């Protein structure tokens, strides 16, 4: 068994002390890797400095560990491998799928949550910049809005009437829509919309961006004109949203993003910056304070022959802390059993399907779906 050394942020270091060969060591190491992935470790570094040799069994353990980690959004990195281990990996033509490093320290630095770090830095810079612009030039922005409104509503179109408008005014309006896009990027990176499939999630993300930008654009167009406000409201009344939204929080985020976009369109950058910072902090706090509800899923498992591997299937469910309830059994040439399951929202259905196909002998098909609503 490899001795684990735990770090913060779901990172762990494994240091095997014996050759990873079939017949005991490789199988035990593979079991340990899979167990760590199921426990929630998403960034695993394997120190191979003490491993003198590796064969197909050890390579299989590394490949399966790498596949399981990647399926759940994690990584598996190899560090400080000996020349013999490196040569075996190269001969197997599988060395390219692993991230390899010369030292454990370099692998540890690479395992840091860089996306989260850059997201935090970018979010702080964005919110601080918007707040600074709003506090630094509030009067100038207000005057610019007034000058533009007077020029548009004025009956005169002479150069003298337009002299108060800056030639850079269109670029200021464009910068407002760019700021709205940046706000959407930050909020969406923190709040991942819930959806039944990936395509639905992508549609919700696009809807969030478009609403945030449309809010900014509407306030730019409306300005101080009541007539234009009624005109846009009348045009918007013909729009119908028929896409069902499963999570009420997604709808709320849509309205908040539209409000932030409107504040950017009005030139209230300080409100937009501080509001975005408050929303991001609130979303992070809610994810930590409010316990996520179990996700109800229906799974249909098909096994060949006349005997269904009930014990092995239920062992997989128990290992992944899934509450299950058998509902239907259909038997013909194959046996089909339908379960209702309650599982963690972050659990990967692809990983569960792979475990059922691998660990429950005879299973030929696994299909997940949301139970039909009455």
d(CA 123, CA 104): 31
Hey, CA dihedral for 270, 273, 276, 279, is it positive or negative? negative
Q: What is the full DSSP assignment across 183-232? A: HHHHHHHHSPPP-SSHHHHHHHHHHHHHHHHHHHHHHHHHTT-HHHHHHH
Model pLDDT, residue 233 = 62
Placement of tokens 């039944």 in the chain: 196
Find out if CATH 3.10.105.10 is the number for domain 295-369.
Answer: no
Model pLDDT, residue 6 = 65
Every domain of the chain and the residues it spans: 3-110, 114-289, 295-369
d(CA 131, CA 268): 9
pLDDT in tens, 134-151: 887 765 555 555 544 554
pLDDT in tens, 270-329: 888 888 898 888 888 877 766 556 678 899 999 988 888 888 888 888 777 788 888 888
Find out if CATH 3.30.750.24 is the number for domain 3-110.
Answer: yes
Model pLDDT, residue 241 = 53
Hey, CA dihedral for 87, 88, 92, 93, is it positive or negative? negative
d(CA 299, CA 342): 11
pLDDT in tens, 162-174: 444 456 667 777 8
Q: pTM of the full predicted structure?
A: 0.58
Q: Is the pLDDT of residue 211 over 90?
A: no
Mean pLDDT of the chain: 77
């Amino acid at each position: 068994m490899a001795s684990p050394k735990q770090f913060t942020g779901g990172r762990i270091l494994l240091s095997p002390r014996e050759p990873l060969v079939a017949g005991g060591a490789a199988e035990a190491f593979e079991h340990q890797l899979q167990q760590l992935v199921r426990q929630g470790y998403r960034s695993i570094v394997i120190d191979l400095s003490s491993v003198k040799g590796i064969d197909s069994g050890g390579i299989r353990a590394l490949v399966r560990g790498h596949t399981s980690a990647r399926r759940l959004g994690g990584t598996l990195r190899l560090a400080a491998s000996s020349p013999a281990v490196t040569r075996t990996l190269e001969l197997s033509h599988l060395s390219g799928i692993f991230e390899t490093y010369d030292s454990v320290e370099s692998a540890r630095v690479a395992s840091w949550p860089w996306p989260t770090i850059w997201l935090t830095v970018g979010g702080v810079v964005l919110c601080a910049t918007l707040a600074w612009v709003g506090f630094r030039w509030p009067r100038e922005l207000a005057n610019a809005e007034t000058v533009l409104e007077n020029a548009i509503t004025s009956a005169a179109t002479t150069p003298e009437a337009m002299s108060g408008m800056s030639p850079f005014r269109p670029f200021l309006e464009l910068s407002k829509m760019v700021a709205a896009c940046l706000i959407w990027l930050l909020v969406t990176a923190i709040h991942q919309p819930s959806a039944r499939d990936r395509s639905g999630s992508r549609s919700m993300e696009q809807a969030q961006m478009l609403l945030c930008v449309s809010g900014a654009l509407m306030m730019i167009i409306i300005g101080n004109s009541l007539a234009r406000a009624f005109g846009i409201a009348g045009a918007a009344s013909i729009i119908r949203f028929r896409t069902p939204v499963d999570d009420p929080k997604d709808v709320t985020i849509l309205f908040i993003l539209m409000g932030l976009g409107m504040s950017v369109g009005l030139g209230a950058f300080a409100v937009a910056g501080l509001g975005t910072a408050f929303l991001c902090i609130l979303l992070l706090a809610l994810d930590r304070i409010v316990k996520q509800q179990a996700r109800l899923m229906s799974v249909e498992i098909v096994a060949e022959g006349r005997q269904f591997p009930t014990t092995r299937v239920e062992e997989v469910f128990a290992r992944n802390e899934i509450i299950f309830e058998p509902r239907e059994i259909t038997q013909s040439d194959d046996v089909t059993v339908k379960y209702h399951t309650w599982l963690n929202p972050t659990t990967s259905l692809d990983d569960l399907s792979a475990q059922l196909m691998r660990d429950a002998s005879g299973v030929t098909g696994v299909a997940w779906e949301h139970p039909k609503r009455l």
